[in-house]
Amino acid sequence: MSAQPASSLNVAVVGAGVMGAMAAWRLARRGVPVTLFERHAPAHDRGAAGGDTRIFRVACKEGAAHVPLIRAGLPLWAELEAASNRKLLTRTGVASIGLPGHDSMRATLATARELGLPLEVLDGATAAARYPQFRVAPDECLYLDPDGGVIRADHTVLAAVAQAESLGARLRAGTAVRALEPDAGGVTLRTDHGPERYTHVVAAPGGWGHRLAALSALPLTPRRIALSWFAAPDMTPFAGDRALVMMRVFPDGYFNCFPSADGATLKGSCNAGGWPAVDDPDVLPRDLPEAELARLRAAAAQSLRGIYPDPVRVGIYMDAFTPDGEGLLGPLDPAGRLIVACGFSGHGFKFAPAIGEAAARLVLDGRAGLPVAHLDPTRYLH
């Protein structure tokens, strides 16, 4: 565990997705020399930051353990927005729609009640009248999280990387890391150009994590995430004060809808039965199988009014998933030289600034200083 001055450290961050970008920014913010490795380029179209936008929820279905990290990240979102002069987080509100007995709806309500979060509960008739752009059945309900919203995912990654660089970090895009070898004095990092030596490494490789031998004991599974964009003859019902994020749950999955990022289309996604595993993260399929496309069309038609249910664009992305759906954050070696920040299973973006902050503190202080015990990777190493 380091007790050295920041300037005496030499830290590599592997992966310039949102977790790696945030870690690099928070380290550079403290004067730590940082090299940020990315096999493609920041905000590329393969990883977990692709596809324009991500949901920001406070009353979240994943449970109360996420809320302290979401709250810890709020001042960091504001700091990054001010430093980059970009609007990254817009508090549109998030509407969750479904039968009140559905596990996701029950978990959302339980989180709000446990922590005293604002959550407006509407019955089906009231929700349908207030939000006619959404299809709400009489026996369904709508939970409105007024503090939720939408994150510009690509802008966030680019802003964090740019801030890290402005503070002295060095970006090495197009450089794949092949191996990480920690020891008591540091970590040897290997690329196609040979070995390099660092005092610490923060490993945030996303869907490529299982390929690194140093992370191979962790149950990281890359999974395909399909996002889609829909056109509408009139975008007015989905704009202005109606521009909510919507999550509609079904017995076999869910459909999400995001406010327009380009003024011309709505983004949606349909996860029915879980995202499929990816055999080779370097060879992502670019099209949806016909059965998934048919389910997407049906979910869009069941959820939204006034749109064309055939998507005008489909994008395929990837994230690393763990068996319990929680991410991994913490040291993997006794000396605390190799820190993993990976496996957030498709729902880590909303508290990514807090993860970057915790990773930086682990490097500098040997302690995260934030409530991340549930993310400890050693839960899988016993």
pLDDT digits (tens, 9 = 90+) for 311-321: 999 999 999 99
pLDDT above 80 for 129: yes
Half-sphere exposure of 208 (CA within 13 A, CB side): 19
Q: What is the pLDDT of residue 221?
A: 98
Q: What is the pLDDT of residue 382?
A: 73
More confident residue, 261 or 356: 356
**Ranges of CATH 3.30.9.10 domains, the chain:** 91-150+221-321
**Distance from CA of residue 162 to its chain's centroid?**
19
Q: What is the pLDDT of residue 242?
A: 83
Q: What is the pLDDT of residue 292?
A: 95
pLDDT above 70 for 173: yes
Ramachandran angles phi, psi of 226, nearest 5°: -105, 125
Confidence of residue 267 (pLDDT cuts 50, 70, 90): very high
Q: How many whole angstroms separate alpha carbon 270 and alpha carbon 279?
A: 21
Closest CA to 307 of 316, 292, 297, 315: 297
CB 377 within 8 A of CB 218: yes
Residue 337 has which token pair? 């030289």
Q: How many whole angstroms separate alpha carbon 382 and alpha carbon 376?
A: 12
Confidence of residue 89 (pLDDT cuts 50, 70, 90): very high
Q: Which segment of 58-62, 221-225, 301-305 scores lowest on mean pLDDT?
A: 58-62
Q: What is the pLDDT of residue 3?
A: 59
CA separation, residue 70 to residues 123, 174, 214, 340 (Å): 28, 31, 29, 20
Fold category of 91-150+221-321 in CATH: D-Amino Acid Oxidase; Chain A, domain 2 (3.30.9)
Q: What is the pLDDT of residue 63?
A: 83
Q: What is the pLDDT of residue 61?
A: 87
CB 315 within 8 A of CB 45: yes
Q: Is the pTM of this model over 0.85?
A: yes
pLDDT above 60 for 40: yes
Residue 201, strand partner residues: 12, 338
Taking domain 6-51+154-219+324-380, whether its CATH number is 3.50.50.60 is answered by yes
pLDDT digits (tens, 9 = 90+) for 137-164: 999 999 999 999 999 999 999 999 999 9
Residue 223, strand partner residues: 277, 319
pLDDT above 70 for 322: yes
CA angle, corner 221, sides to 313 and 373, nearest 5?
110
Query: In one letter, which amino acid is 114?
Result: E
pLDDT digits (tens, 9 = 90+) for 51-83: 999 999 999 888 899 999 999 999 999 999 999
**Ranges of CATH 3.50.50.60 domains, the chain:** 6-51+154-219+324-380
* Residue 380 neighbours by CB under 8 Å, 6+ apart: 217, 218, 219, 322, 328
CB 60 within 8 A of CB 67: yes
Q: How many whole angstroms separate alpha carbon 290 and alpha carbon 298?
A: 12
